Structure 1
Amino acid sequence: MTIKSAQQLVQEAYTEVKTINTDEALTLVKENKCNLIDIRDVRELEKEGRVENSIHIPRGMLEFWIDPNSQYFKEGKLDLDKEMVLFCAAGARSALAAKALQDMGFEKVSHVEGGFGAIKQSNFKIV
């Protein structure tokens, strides 16, 4: 039995999902063309802060909260017609999460290169 490493899965996800930089993400937010989704753990948000106007969906609940047919669907939390722009701390989890959304059938999905670390160094407002 051969299993793929987490790093292999992340590398595959990087080749299959759209990666955008912080400037591109900020433009999408300012133009109201996306849902900016923070998939970090709640403890990370408490420790590091959160991005203004982002929506927190923990990685472990993403597929359930975003699926309209799930009992956990968060009605009105997201605009499912807009691009889903995901970020985590550094970019690996968000790449995997973006791939999962693509696998669900979402077509407008991307993740922020460098994650929250890059976002903190950009023009996003951290609250």
Structure 2
Amino acid sequence: MPQTITKTSKDIVKEAMADVPAISAEAAMGLIGAPDHVFVDLRDGTEQAKTGIIPGAVASSRGMLEFHIDPDSPAHKPEFNQDKTYVFYCASGGRSAMAAKVAMQMGLSPVVNLSGGVGAWKKAGGRLE
């Protein structure tokens, strides 16, 4: 008997986008290098290597995020233990919205999602390195 999926991936992304504050690529561009913001790239390593990342961003794939945030995890990244605003992004904004929702549930705050992800960033003239 096949599985009965009651919620689609689109449903979950839509809920996350409704729960997580968003920032436009244009507004986010002004935050590059700002001492009170941290950009977090949620794409996997092959995607990051292929296109580059936003300058200064922390690489944290969606699959490792919870371990990178948790200070008691051996995989903890100290960049997540700062009093700053975290700007999450992925390729188009869906994975980062889901990741941001989980990060908020873990107590990371404030967290915002980059609307449209790297696609919107590049379209707005944002630099990748």
Q: What is the TM-score when the length of structure 1 is the normalising length?
A: 0.89
Shift of 1:55: 1.2
Gaps in structure 1 of 5+ consecutive residues: none
Shift of 1:110: 0.5
2:7 aligns to what?
4
1:74 to 49, 72, 77: 77
Q: Deviations over 1:45-81 (max 9, x none)?
A: 1222222111111110011111112221123x34521
**2:81, 2:87 → 1: CA distance?**
12
1:86 aligns to what?
88
Residues 1:37 and 2:40 are matched in the alignment: yes
2:107 to 99, 105, 108: 105
Question: CA separation of 1:7/1:88 partners in 2, compared to 1, >3 Å: closer, same or farther?
Answer: same
Shift of 1:126: 1.4
Q: Which moved more, 1:66-75 or 1:113-122?
A: 66-75
Task: Report if the CA contact (8 A) 1:52-1:124 is conserved.
Answer: no
Q: What is the 5 A alignment of 1:52-67?
A: 52-67=55-70
**1:71, 1:65 → 2: CA distance?**
8
**2:72, 2:81 → 1: CA distance?**
15
Q: Deviations over 1:3-54 (max 9, x none)?
A: 3111111111111000110122122334322110001011111222222111
1:50 aligns to what?
53
1:126 aligns to what?
128
**Per the alignment, in what secondary structure is the counterpart of residue 23 of structure 1?**
helix
Gaps in structure 2 of 5+ consecutive residues: none
Q: Which moved more, 1:4-13 or 1:27-36?
A: 27-36
Q: Which moved more, 1:93-102 or 1:63-72?
A: 63-72
**Per the alignment, in what secondary structure is the counterpart of residue 31 of structure 2?**
helix
Alignment RMSD, CA only?
A: 1.6
Q: What is the TM-score when the length of structure 2 is the normalising length?
A: 0.88
Larger Cα-atom Rg: 2
